[in-house]
Structure 1
Amino acid sequence: MDETTINAAKKRFGNSNKKSFAFDVLTLTGGTTLAQILTILSVPVLTRLYQPENFGVWALYSSITSIISVIICMRYEYAIMLPESDEDAINLLGVSFLAIGVVTGLTLAIIWFFRESIISILNSPQIGNYLWLVPLFVLVNGIFLALNGWNSRTKLFRRLSFSRISSSVSTIATQIIIGIFDKKSPTGLITGSVTGQSVATFILAGQIWRDDRSLIRKSLNWKKMYEVLKRYRKFPLVDSFSALMNSISWQLPAFLLAAFFSPAIVGFYSIGFRLLQMPMSLIGSSISQVFFQRASRAASSGNLSVLAENVFKILVIIGMFPILVLTIVGSDVFTVVFGKAWAEAGIYTQILGFWAFVWFISSPLTGIYLVVEEYDFGFRYNFINLATRFLSLIIGGFLGSARTALILFSISGIVVYGYMCLKMMSYSGVKISRTLKIVFSNFILFIPAGIILAVLEIRETNPILIVAFSGVLICFYYLYILKTDTNVKKIIREFDLEGKSLKISILGKVPKS
């Protein structure tokens, strides 16, 4: 993106509606929270319907579709938020749809001609039965991503929340119903994913077409599409390669664990990682989506450091305590909730726990390097991330130990994401010493609870009691934070005020000045 593009974004976001950062984040997470809760509650049911190797095949399928989905729109979906005029944004939406058609066609051709090679590389004959669903999923998901780009521009986050709830319900229902009748294959898991994404896309598309079809019809034309395609060509030429490397680095564990070990090992990893990622991703992705808008405005007004520090504090407060608890008691949690057959997944969760926390506090801040126009950072960072992850997993694979592979993977992630986090805070004007102080001050709060849990583990206390006690500790921690932390109180106060304003607006009343 050039300077003109960034300035246009700053101007647009600076003049957008004046709702608080907290209100936008909580609006976006409101419906999504319900969707994630439903998904988490479904996991104990699914783990009793499907075997670990079924989850492994599903994880491989999801990894393939995730990598392709990153470039399905050639990154033009992110450009939709940047133009000052809605006409340019609509034509970027059109360009995104053209990219979806091209990439889907290429995906279909690759699977048609290289199906056997893909099966051989992944060391999973079962995946061959489901490769034909890959082009369908990336097509539907690509449409969703493009429409979500427009939805983010219009800041109608409730549309997205509703579509996510619908997706979660339809995914879970499909997976459970098929799983009851077919427990020996991953058909239900994969079909559920396709069904859920299709429902979400259909609902979001219907709402956007209902509200914006006149603007879309009036604005779309081939000449304008060609103009915006050239103007924002850096997205497919530069950002797509960076994003592709990042996506591949995320999916490497599934691919390499399958190649060196078995789909069952991939299944243990996928469940452990899934339960770590879901709650973290729920909050982090919503904060990230709103943060980019607010960071653009804050940079132009000279308040980026204040915004970045406040968001970082909230991320640390939310994520550190529960993740560290899970790092100690993860194996017990999986044994109690999912059964003894899934204890290995709990150990993987313990190994990956602190890495997940570092990822959580750093990932929402990545938009800072775009705001301050340090475009080369993303490419360099993603290259290092991919290389270190690949080496970690390869070394563990040759040593013949999945746990060793994941330990090395976790250590490399902590180092790389930790560096990225400090760099983003530095770009925003927050000193490294200040950043570290925020982390350590919150870690001190965990020490008493950590000691108690460690003693219970050493004494081999009943897992049910350990899990129950851990839940109580987490509840007490959040209650303490709600009562004592000024940043959290401020966010709740802002959300309450915005909620009252929204209620007054809906009722048609004008507040007294």
Structure 2
Amino acid sequence: MRKALARRWKEEFGQVSQRGSFANSAAHVFSGSSLVILSQLVLTPIIARIYGPEAYGVYGLFLALSLNLAQLSDPGLFTAYVLPRDHDRFLDLVRLDLICFAAVLLLMLPFCLAHEVIYTWVPAWSILGGWALLLPLGVAVQFLPNLFTNWLIREKNFRASPYLGGGTNLFLRVFNLIYGLFSKGAVHGLIVGEVAVRGVGLLAYWKAIGHGALVRVLTFPPWARLRETLHEYRMHPLVLFPERYVALLGQQIPIFMLVFDPVALGQFAFAGGLLLMPLRLFGYSLGVVFQQRIAESQHDKPHDLPRITSGVFNRLMMIGVVPFAAITFFSDVIFQWVLGDAWLVSGIYTAYMGHFFLFRLVSEPLTSVMLVKRRQHYLLIFQLIMLAGRAIAAFAAERMFGTADAIVLAFTVVSTAAYLFYMAMLLRNAGVPWMRPVLRMLAIVSALDVLFALMRFWTTGTWFPGM
């Protein structure tokens, strides 16, 4: 067993040096993403001590609204960028996205200007105050980098995008640190950093894409051609867009349910942000390359899909199982020691969500399988069922127990079970016999859970965080 595992790792590292290989392309993306994670590991503890949970709660609501509106700006066409073989058809997809983006900005502007009226309808949102006026910029700095990133993936420029994103995130944390020190942890500080730094970062994306290419995309063809392109890729706005938006709403259920308590909201938002780190580092690194590779294989070598999918699944599982087991059983201890007593609850929430994010890490990069197979409608059905399950569980927990802990735990239990099913569904649709790899992963996770639970009991006297 050990020899087989060692041989497997040796083969993986050997492929990194092979130019154009899957591992080589993923390594380019990984190297840029690692800059983001390194900056988070070094600066996040300091920034968290400066701002505190309430500031993260206000920022969490601002970010949730920005992400919702940015999602509405893309009618599911981002993931279609890699599909057209004709470059003009690809540019038409970008133009359609820009039209939707402009429409969303125009529609939201009156609501932002009349934010005081909105607060009378939704009093909990009043924690944003006048900073709601920055929401259009918040939407722009979420939408445009995603557009440019998918453009760079289309061009197979796997090196540029992660470095641009990594550099922006590094400067964002440095800005938050400096601004927090001078403003003494102002509640709005994280919002200012989000808009200012990411806005400046758009200039770097502009340079990477090229001025000429952007001028060309802004030269609109006849509407009849755009309509023809939209009709060709109609399944994306009809099925994929609703699926993505429903998925986003499902993930944000605790945010909108905890908004009445900015401190609890901040604890949850901070925990979720940290758990996303390995997803961005490893899941994104393999996911963007996987998306490009299976799109190509579907045209040329469709029989390679099961092999490629199984390889990515095994890589992600090997990467994630041990770190997430450690996070699940020791996050509260780590948070209390590194961040201080104010963030202990966030450590407990992190423990609750450990297995959920492990299954997300392994499954979400494989979602492209459903796109190339033209089975997007299955994703929508899955997300609708999971949204209903999450909402029912979270509302029931709030009614029965009335605590933030109960809401987060109920949300997590449903999400974990749903993503386990999702993982099996993706493997099956890729043509991979799903039962054996899923059961093997569950056996490994269970064994590690027992091991880390015993280690925790030996060191702390409790079996699990929060007990």
Pair in the same fold by TM > 0.5: yes
Contact 2:119 2:125 in 1 (8 A): no
For 1:221, give the aligned amino acid: P
Residue 109 (1) aligns with residue 110 (2): yes
Structure 2: distance between partners of 1:389 and 1:374: 24
Aligned to 1:235: 236
Structure 2: distance between partners of 1:90 and 1:292: 19
Identity of aligned residues (%): 23
Contact 1:178 1:187 in 2 (8 A): no
Residue 257 (1) aligns with residue 266 (2): no
For 2:441, give the aligned amino acid: V
Contact 1:325 1:450 in 2 (8 A): yes
For 1:446, give the aligned amino acid: L
For 2:295, give the aligned amino acid: S
Structure 1: distance between partners of 2:338 and 2:158: 33
Aligned to 2:93: 92
Contact 1:93 1:147 in 2 (8 A): no
Contact 1:100 1:143 in 2 (8 A): no
Aligned to 1:417: 419
Judging changes above 3 Å, is the alpha-carbon distance between structure 1 residues 438 and 309 closer, same or farther for their aligned structure 2 residues? farther
- 1:375-454 residue pairs with structure 2 within 5 A? 375-398=376-399, 399-440=401-442, 442-443=444-445, 446=448, 449-454=451-456
Structure 2: distance between partners of 1:69 and 1:205: 19
- Per the TM alignment, residue 113 of structure 1 is displaced from its structure 2 partner at its CA by 4.2
Structure 1: distance between partners of 2:462 and 2:228: 66
- 1:142-153 residue pairs with structure 2 within 5 A? 142-153=143-154
For 1:456, give the aligned amino acid: W
Structure 2: distance between partners of 1:227 and 1:264: 49
For 1:423, give the aligned amino acid: M
- Per the TM alignment, residue 167 of structure 1 is displaced from its structure 2 partner at its CA by 0.9
Aligned to 1:269: 268
What is the TM-score when the length of structure 2 is the normalising length?
A: 0.88
Aligned to 2:165: 164
- Per the TM alignment, residue 165 of structure 1 is displaced from its structure 2 partner at its CA by 2.4
- 1:192-203 residue pairs with structure 2 within 5 A? 192-203=193-204
- Per the TM alignment, residue 71 of structure 1 is displaced from its structure 2 partner at its CA by 2.2
Contact 1:81 1:152 in 2 (8 A): yes
Structure 2: distance between partners of 1:455 and 1:210: 59
- Per the TM alignment, residue 314 of structure 1 is displaced from its structure 2 partner at its CA by 1.0
Q: For the aligned residues, what is the CA RMSD?
A: 2.5
- Per the TM alignment, residue 39 of structure 1 is displaced from its structure 2 partner at its CA by 2.2
For 1:420, give the aligned amino acid: Y
Moved more, 412-421 or 172-181: 172-181
Structure 2: distance between partners of 1:432 and 1:376: 20
What is the TM-score when the length of structure 1 is the normalising length?
A: 0.81
In structure 2, the residue corresponding to 1:335 is in which secondary structure? helix
Aligned to 2:222: 222
Contact 1:313 1:438 in 2 (8 A): no
Structure 2: distance between partners of 1:111 and 1:227: 35
Structure 2: distance between partners of 1:337 and 1:120: 40
Aligned to 1:367: 368
Judging changes above 3 Å, is the alpha-carbon distance between structure 1 residues 140 and 50 closer, same or farther for their aligned structure 2 residues? closer
Moved more, 444-453 or 46-55: 444-453
For structure 2, the 5+ residue unaligned runs are 1-17
Residue 278 (1) aligns with residue 280 (2): no
Structure 1: distance between partners of 2:142 and 2:296: 30
Structure 1: distance between partners of 2:19 and 2:123: 50
Q: Deviations over 1:400-422 (max 9, x none)?
A: 12111111111100111111110
Structure 2: distance between partners of 1:107 and 1:144: 20
Aligned to 1:292: 291
Structure 2: distance between partners of 1:379 and 1:447: 32
Structure 1: distance between partners of 2:245 and 2:449: 39
Aligned to 1:481: none
Judging changes above 3 Å, is the alpha-carbon distance between structure 1 residues 90 and 116 closer, same or farther for their aligned structure 2 residues? same
Aligned to 2:6: none
For 2:89, give the aligned amino acid: D
Contact 1:169 1:196 in 2 (8 A): no
Judging changes above 3 Å, is the alpha-carbon distance between structure 1 residues 174 and 303 closer, same or farther for their aligned structure 2 residues? same
For 1:309, give the aligned amino acid: S
Judging changes above 3 Å, is the alpha-carbon distance between structure 1 residues 180 and 308 closer, same or farther for their aligned structure 2 residues? same
Structure 2: distance between partners of 1:78 and 1:119: 38
- Per the TM alignment, residue 427 of structure 1 is displaced from its structure 2 partner at its CA by 0.9
Aligned to 2:3: none
Aligned to 2:15: none
Moved more, 448-457 or 351-360: 448-457
Contact 2:295 2:372 in 1 (8 A): yes
Aligned to 2:12: none
Structure 2: distance between partners of 1:97 and 1:43: 34
> What is the number of residues matched between the two proteins?
443
For 1:292, give the aligned amino acid: Q
Residue 23 (1) aligns with residue 24 (2): yes
Aligned to 2:359: 358
Contact 2:43 2:173 in 1 (8 A): yes
Moved more, 250-259 or 55-64: 250-259
Q: Deviations over 1:43-85 (max 9, x none)?
A: 1111111121111000011111111111212222222221111
Contact 2:349 2:405 in 1 (8 A): yes
Aligned to 1:338: 339
- Per the TM alignment, residue 304 of structure 1 is displaced from its structure 2 partner at its CA by 1.5
For 2:181, give the aligned amino acid: I
Judging changes above 3 Å, is the alpha-carbon distance between structure 1 residues 194 and 396 closer, same or farther for their aligned structure 2 residues? same
For structure 1, the 5+ residue unaligned runs are 1-16, 464-513
For 1:286, give the aligned amino acid: S
Contact 1:249 1:385 in 2 (8 A): yes
Judging changes above 3 Å, is the alpha-carbon distance between structure 1 residues 368 and 118 closer, same or farther for their aligned structure 2 residues? farther
Aligned to 1:494: none
Aligned to 1:325: 326
Judging changes above 3 Å, is the alpha-carbon distance between structure 1 residues 86 and 93 closer, same or farther for their aligned structure 2 residues? same
Structure 1: distance between partners of 2:52 and 2:35: 26
Contact 1:119 1:128 in 2 (8 A): no
Q: Deviations over 1:343-393 (max 9, x none)?
A: 111111111111111121111111112222222101101111211111222
Aligned to 2:349: 348
- Per the TM alignment, residue 257 of structure 1 is displaced from its structure 2 partner at its CA by 1.2
